[in-house]
């Protein structure tokens, strides 16, 4: 018998002893997070506590190996008191303790490769009730329907069931209910949760999860001419990789005829039980990958897939039997987001219902079958495993530099006490405030050159002239005649091909006109893929928010929606005042990094006013303009 980690066998393996499974203990109400195996060997009987989602895959008579921790009490074992291996065809498969591994994701500067920030994520199999509560909460961001009820809950007092998206009170005893199950999951579903370590106090603990199921029983392909080709996977891979499949629906029909007395829940449970005993494939199915909406478009989806792939390979998830060679997924969102293909998934074709199928080769054994498919199949020869096509095309950059020649701008205000209430009049006069005209120079003889494609940060104290400069640039780019947008002294040269978009709070703002933000961006772009792309870049990757109206968003979400709207206009000059002013520090850094990267990639000149150091860090500006009450100092990157 071989150990998959035989080159570095751990002490628990050396101390392990052979046992056979006597009985599997499951509680239907809490099997997701509690179950037990009773095993027997030369050392006697042991009761091994674990999650029911693991225990249910065992059958009486199976050979296992168990190693107890040195201080473990064999009469009262705890979850962390032992290590369990299953013996499959002479190989030892590690089963318990449940899988957990740390993964890191470093976000670096695209210019200097200097690290900007790092995520440390603990990926572990869901095994606590709190894990599944977090999954329910995250799952709500996966759906766009308020009516979608995701979870079942039960009362420990009277075993009453209820359905809700958050822990409800029992309708009978009014006590908090316990988590039971996810409504759309099968008993075969396995969950991997992602926990954010080294996080700020305001950041969430759970930032995502992955759900893995057995492969679906049947999969047909819709060809471009509309005809249906049966058994897509068998046209690519050996048929026995996907058999015996997990097909409780077929078993449920048989049980219904044989045992008409069963309740709907009992019918479901028993059919799933039979399917668990027989399922033994060499594939797995990625049923869900959900990342917290504030952390999407950050590469954490790819990290989640990397963690899931490592879990599947090591533990042979979900059945923990035959070695896994291929991971499949059916995901409509793969048309609109490239993270699966960036993670190594390849497109096979569309199902009969028109949803794209992608596969990931878990072992080299799968590669020759894929390559032969792309060489010989007429349709696959065209797409070559690629599905996603980016919609954001590079703009025509500014044809020349923006030049400011001796630009001066001053404000003149007359302060009058007339019309004020007498007591206030007296107070102001006591402080020496009388009617007067105040003149203030905010820009004084400013000359500078901004080259095409440059990222420019405009910093300085409030009232130092940042907004004034942005107004004058926007006025020069658009021909706006309002005096606030016209140069008083000096001149500004703009390239002839300038296409400007600006956000100047309270003055120049995107127009959502009561539409949902996705509708507004689609109206602007006439391209649903482009609309979703710019929302992702701006940090709005929650499908629930796609259908929200601008007025329904939080202050920070509104700011991100405005940035998305500006990008959707595909300008070659982008002017933003108070960039990311209402975002938390981590989100501001992430959005600044993504927007600057997109501008650099697609030839957009960006000039952003900010007072936040994390925005400067994320933008990595080519020029920093420091405004100071009439005077400007220009600092180039690296100086």
Alpha helices, H only, 226-281: 248-258, 264-278
Burial label, 86 (beta-carbon count in 10 A; 0-12, 13-18, 19+)? buried
Higher per-residue pLDDT: 209 or 546: 209
Mean pLDDT of the chain: 89
User: Is pLDDT above 60 for 386?
Assistant: yes
β-pair type (356-361, 228-229)? unpaired
Domains defined along the chain, listed by start: 6-97 (2.40.50), 129-184 (2.20.28), 245-278 (no CATH), 402-412+441-636 (3.40.50.300)
Residue-by-residue DSSP string for 47-59 = EEEE-HHHHTT--
User: Is pLDDT above 60 for 204?
Assistant: yes
Mean pLDDT over residues 432-445, rounded?
A: 76
Residues 35, 52 contacting (CB under 8 angstroms): yes
> In the β-sheet with 17-26, what is the strand arrangement from edge to edge?
44-50, 35-41, 17-26, 63-68, 82-88, 91-96
Q: Would you call the peptide bond into 116 cis, given omega within 30 degrees of 0 as the criterion?
A: no
The Cα 308–Cα 181 span in angstroms is: 21
CB atoms within 10 A of CB 452: 18
19-45, pLDDT tens digit by residue? 999 999 999 999 999 999 999 998 899
The Cα 609–Cα 579 span in angstroms is: 6
580-602, pLDDT tens digit by residue? 888 888 888 888 888 888 899 88
- Model confidence band, residue 533 (pLDDT cutoffs 50, 70, 90): confident
Structure tokens at 242: 């996907």
Q: What is the pLDDT of residue 426?
A: 75
Structure tokens at 391: 């919609």
β-pair type (115-125, 91-96)? unpaired
| Cα 373 to Cα 72, 101, 366, 381, distances in angstroms | 53, 35, 11, 8
Output the furthest CA–CA distance in the chain (Å, rounded). 101
Work out the percent of the chain whose per-residue pLDDT is above 70.
93
Q: Considering the entire predicted model, what is its pTM?
A: 0.80
133-162, pLDDT tens digit by residue? 999 999 876 653 444 788 999 999 888 899
User: Is pLDDT above 90 for 463?
Assistant: no
> In the β-sheet with 178-182, what is the strand arrangement from edge to edge?
161-164, 151-154, 178-182
User: Is pLDDT above 60 for 8?
Assistant: no
Mean pLDDT over residues 377-394, rounded?
A: 90
β-pair type (206-213, 221-222)? unpaired
| Cα 385 to Cα 299, 344, 354, 389, distances in angstroms | 21, 10, 16, 12
Please list the residues that pair with 636 across neighbouring strands. 623
Mean pLDDT over residues 260-277, rounded?
A: 93
β-pair type (326-330, 283-291)? parallel
Residues 596, 455 contacting (CB under 8 angstroms): yes
326-350, pLDDT tens digit by residue? 999 999 888 888 889 999 999 999 9
Mean pLDDT over residues 173-198, rounded?
A: 94
User: Is pLDDT above 80 for 530?
Assistant: yes
The Cα 639–Cα 626 span in angstroms is: 14
3-class SS of residue 215: coil
Structure tokens at 442: 């905010």
Structure tokens at 106: 């470093």
| Cα 325 to Cα 64, 215, 237, distances in angstroms | 23, 12, 10
User: Is pLDDT above 70 for 639?
Assistant: no
β-pair type (115-125, 190-197)? antiparallel
User: Is pLDDT above 80 for 3?
Assistant: no
User: Is pLDDT above 70 for 7?
Assistant: no
Residues 595, 567 contacting (CB under 8 angstroms): yes
Residue given tokens 């009969």 in the structure block: 352
The Cα 378–Cα 398 span in angstroms is: 43
User: Is pLDDT above 80 for 263?
Assistant: yes
Residue given tokens 């007092």 in the structure block: 157
Residues 49, 127 contacting (CB under 8 angstroms): no
Which residue, among 516, 510, 566, has the nearest Cα to 542 in the 3D structure?
A: 516
Positive or negative CA dihedral for 52, 53, 59, 65?
negative
| Cα 532 to Cα 197, 297, 338, 392, 538, distances in angstroms | 29, 11, 12, 10, 10
Burial label, 548 (beta-carbon count in 10 A; 0-12, 13-18, 19+)? middle
Q: What is the pLDDT of residue 447?
A: 93
HEC readout, 425-460: HHHHHHCCCCCEEEEEEEEEEEEEEECCCCEEEEEE
Q: Which of 139-148, 175-184, 436-445 has the lowest mean pLDDT?
A: 139-148
Q: What is the pLDDT of residue 634?
A: 76
Higher per-residue pLDDT: 373 or 116: 373
Q: What is the pLDDT of residue 242?
A: 96
Q: What is the pLDDT of residue 6?
A: 42
Which residue, among 616, 601, 589, 617, has the nearest Cα to 625 in the 3D structure?
A: 616
Torsion of the alpha carbons at 256, 259, 261 and 265, rounded to the nearest 10: -50
The Cα 247–Cα 245 span in angstroms is: 6
State the distance between the two ends of the chain, measured CA to CA, in whole angstroms.
64
| Cα 398 to Cα 105, 496, 601, distances in angstroms | 35, 8, 14
Higher per-residue pLDDT: 350 or 549: 350
H/E element holding 221? Answer: strand 221-222
Structure tokens at 186: 């099968």
Q: What is the pLDDT of residue 17?
A: 94
β-pair type (82-88, 91-96)? antiparallel
493-524, pLDDT tens digit by residue? 999 999 999 999 989 988 888 889 889 999 98
Selection from 263-267, 290-294, 313-317 with the highest mean pLDDT: 313-317
CB atoms within 10 A of CB 526: 9
Q: What is the pLDDT of residue 253?
A: 87
- Model confidence band, residue 415 (pLDDT cutoffs 50, 70, 90): low
| Cα 103 to Cα 106, 462, 587, distances in angstroms | 10, 42, 21
The Cα 537–Cα 521 span in angstroms is: 13
Q: What are phi and psi of 412, to 5 degrees?
A: -130, 120
The Cα 361–Cα 273 span in angstroms is: 29
Selection from 135-149, 242-256, 589-603, 620-634 with the highest mean pLDDT: 242-256
Q: What is the pLDDT of residue 4?
A: 45
User: Is pLDDT above 80 for 395?
Assistant: yes
Instruction: List Cβ neighbours of 50 (8 Å cut-off, separation of 6 or more).
Output: 35, 36, 37, 79, 84, 96, 98
């Amino acid at each position: 018998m071989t150990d998959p980690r035989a080159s570095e066998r751990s002490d628990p393996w050396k101390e392990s002893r052979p046992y056979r499974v006597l009985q599997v203990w499951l509680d239907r109400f809490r099997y997701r997070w509690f179950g037990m195996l009773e095993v027997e060997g030369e050392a006697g009987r042991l009761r091994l506590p674990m999650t029911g989602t693991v225990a249910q895959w065992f059958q009486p008579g199976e050979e296992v190996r168990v190693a107890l921790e040195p201080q473990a009490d064999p009469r009262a074992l705890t979850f962390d008191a032992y290590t369990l291996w299953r013996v499959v065809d002479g190989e030892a498969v590690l089963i318990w303790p449940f899988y957990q591994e740390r993964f890191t994701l470093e976000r670096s500067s695209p210019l200097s490769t200097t690290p900007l920030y790092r995520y440390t994520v603990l990926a572990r199999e869901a095994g606590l009730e709190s894990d599944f509560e977090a999954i329910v909460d995250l799952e709500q961001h996966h759906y766009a329907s308020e009516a979608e009820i995701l979870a079942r809950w039960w009362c420990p007092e009277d075993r009453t069931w209820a359905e809700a998206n958050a822990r409800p009170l029992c309708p009978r005893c009014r006590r908090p209910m316990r988590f039971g199950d996810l409504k759309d999951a099968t008993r075969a579903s396995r969950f991997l949760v992602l926990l954010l370590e080294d996080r700020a106090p305001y950041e969430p603990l759970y930032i995502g999860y992955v759900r893995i199921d057995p492969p679906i029983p049947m999969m047909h392909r819709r060809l471009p001419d509309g005809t249906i080709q049966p058994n897509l996977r068998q046209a690519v891979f050996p048929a026995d990789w996907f058999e015996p499949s997990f097909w409780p629906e077929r078993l449920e029909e048989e049980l219904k005829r044989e045992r008409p007395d069963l309740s709907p829940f009992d019918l479901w449970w028993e059919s799933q039980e039979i399917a668990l005993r027989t399922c033994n494939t060499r594939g797995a199915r990625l049923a869900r990958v959900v990342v917290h909406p504030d952390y999407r478009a950050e590469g954490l989806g790819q990290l989640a897939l990397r963690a899931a792939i490592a879990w599947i390979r090591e533990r042979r998830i979900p059945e923990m039997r035959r070695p896994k060679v291929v991971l499949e997924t059916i995901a409509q969102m793969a048309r609109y987001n490239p993270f699966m293909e960036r993670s190594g998934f390849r497109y096979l074709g569309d199902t009969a219902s028109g949803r794209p199928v992608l596969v990931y080769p878990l072992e080299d054994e799968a590669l020759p079958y894929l390559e032969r498919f792309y060489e010989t199949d007429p349709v696959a020869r065209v797409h070559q495993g690629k599905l996603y096509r980016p919609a954001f095309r590079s703009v025509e950059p500014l044809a020349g530099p923006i030049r400011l020649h001796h630009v001066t701008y001053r404000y003149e205000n007359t302060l009058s006490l007339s019309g004020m209430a007498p007591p206030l009049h007296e107070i102001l006069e006591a402080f020496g405030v009388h009617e007067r005209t105040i003149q203030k120079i905010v820009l004084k003889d400013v000359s500078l050159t901004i080259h095409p494609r440059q990222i420019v940060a405009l910093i300085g104290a409030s009232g130092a002239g940042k907004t004034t400069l942005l107004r004058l640039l926007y006025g020069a780019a658009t021909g706006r005649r309002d005096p606030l947008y016209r140069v008083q002294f000096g001149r500004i040269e703009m390239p002839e091909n300038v296409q400007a978009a600006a956000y100047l709070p309270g003055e120049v703002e995107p127009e959502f006109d009561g539409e949902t933000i996705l509708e507004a961006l689609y109206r602007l772009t006439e391209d649903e893929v482009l609309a979703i792309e710019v929302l992702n870049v701006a940090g709005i990757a929650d499908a629930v928010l796609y259908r929200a109206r601008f007025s329904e968003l939080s202050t920070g979400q509104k700011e991100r929606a405005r940035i998305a709207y500006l990008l959707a206009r595909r300008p070659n000059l982008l002017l933003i005042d108070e960039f990311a002013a209402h975002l938390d520090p981590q989100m501001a850094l992430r959005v600044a990094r993504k927007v600057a990267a997109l501008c650099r990639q697609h030839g957009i000149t960006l000039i952003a006013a900010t007072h936040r150091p994390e925005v400067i860090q994320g933008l990595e500006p080519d020029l920093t303009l420091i405004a100071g009450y009439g005077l400007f100092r220009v600092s180039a990157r690296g100086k």
